[in-house]
Structure formats: structure tokens, C-alpha cells
Amino acid sequence: MLDPVISFSDVSLQFRVPSEGKISSLKEWLIRWLRGRGVSQNTVQALRSVSFSVEKGEAVGVIGRNGAGKSTLLRIAAGILQPSAGTAVVRGRVAPVIELGVGFEQELTGRENIVFNGALLGRSQHEMIDRMGEIVDFAELDAFIDQPIRTYSTGMVARLAFSVATTVDAQVLLLDEVLSVGDERFKRKCHQRMDRFRSDGVTLLFVSHDLGAVESLCDRAMWIADGEVREIGRTGDVIRSYRAWAESVQG
């Protein structure tokens, strides 16, 4: 039997944050230090002993309320964050679609940013140039592609970022709330592209508050609450449990 494409084993992550509110300047920090006060910190447990695996070609949705640890989990899978404890393994070529537009340079043109952003994803200049036409066509930015990114609207930047990240060949896609890009017509294009990835056997880990999108796209779902796995199983079953919990909290 092949090893899972994504494997988390007892993964935990702690953050340390100031307990006295935000330090607004280096001067304030130095004054506190000179007075012997220092900067006391609290520990925030973002994830607690999270274990799960995703097989090749499987799509798993991650659901839960804001602050539950969903995006933190995805950033660990992408290698952006390192766990405080446990192990996280992702096998294969990864395309993280986490914060659309992060890594774009405002003074570079859309065309230049395609090559630049591709490099951040580990893609060669030659590969990105070969894919240029496909990327621009999907983002529907032909008339603007040689303009600086600073002249783009937020929606245009998001469309370009999504197109760059999902046009390159990948074996693993890590998605964080990215299927709400653009208008309804463009959203349909995004969903169609995700369907194509599914049919091509790409492995998906998809974080979203859109339970309908999770239900239509994913084989299984995982409910994260307070940094822990509350439930993992068939998508419909997990969503029903989550909805029942949400209704009980609201009631």
C-alpha cells in the first residue's frame, strides 16, 4: 500500500503573544526593558495533537468556525509554519493557494508577476513563460497584463493569483477559501478547474466556510474546533454534525 500523500501525526503548534497589548514601537519596548518590566507573553495553542491522512487523489475539506485552527493547519501542510510537536509530511509537488495576491510586487506588471510568483512556487522561468497565455486567458486580463499590479482592482489580483497557482502542474493542492474569487461566472470557472483536478487524480486539502462547496468537492471532511479534530469522516456526516452544533450554539 502506498504511503498517504498528506500525513499529520500528533501535530501541535503554539504561538507566544504579548499579554499586555500591542507594543507600538521599539522605544516602548526599550522603556519596558530598562524598567525591568520586559514583555510578558501568553501561550496560544493553535493546534493540539492533530492526526489525519489524505490518500492520493482524495479531496478532504476542513471546516470549523473562525479561529479554530484551519488555516494554521494548511500553512503547516504548505511548509510555511513548522509544528511545535509532531510530524507533518506532504509528498509530491505542492501548489498552495492560501493568500491570493501574497508575493505579488506592486510595481511589476502582471506578466512580470506571473514569472515572479511562479518562482515563489518553485516553477522555472521557462515553465511560466510557456504557460503565460493560458494563465492570462483564464484570469481574463489580456488588456491589463502589461500594466503594474498597483493599477489592478482586488478582484483582478485575486483572479491572476488563482490562475497562476492552479495553472501549474501539481500533485497536491492546498486551498484556503479561494473558490469565492470574482463574480458568479468566474466562480463557476474556478469550480470547473477544481473538478478537472479531481478527475486528474490531484490530491486536495480544502479549507472553507462554504459548506456547499465542501460537500460538492470533497470525499471526506474534517471538523476542527479549538485546534483539535472534533470529527473526521464522510463529508455529509461531518457537515450534518457541524450544522447541528452550530444551531445548538446559536439557540
Mention every residue, 6+ apart, whose C-beta is less than 8 A from residue 124. Answer: 118
180 vs 82: CA distance, rounded Å: 28
Residues 6+ apart with CB under 8 A from 37: none
Q: What are the strands, taking DSSP E only, across the chain?
A: 6-18, 41-54, 59-63, 85-90, 94-97, 172-176, 203-207, 220-225, 228-234
Nearest C-alpha neighbor of 69 from the set 226, 211, 232: 226
- The tens-digit pLDDT sequence of the chain (251 residues) is 678 999 999 999 997 766 555 655 655 656 666 666 555 567 778 999 999 999 999 999 999 999 899 999 999 999 989 999 999 999 998 888 877 666 789 999 999 999 998 888 788 999 999 999 999 999 999 999 999 999 999 889 888 988 988 887 889 999 887 766 667 888 888 888 888 888 999 999 999 999 998 999 999 999 999 999 999 999 999 999 999 999 988 75
Distance CA 103, CA 168 (A): 16
pLDDT at 101: 65
Domains of the chain, each with CATH number or no CATH: 56-250 (3.40.50.300)
Residue 121 has a pLDDT of 78
Question: Taking the model in full, what pTM does it have?
Answer: 0.81
- For every residue of 79-100, DSSP letters joined together read TSS--SEEEEEE-S-EEEE-ST
Of 73, 66, 128, 63, the residue nearest 96 (C-alpha): 73
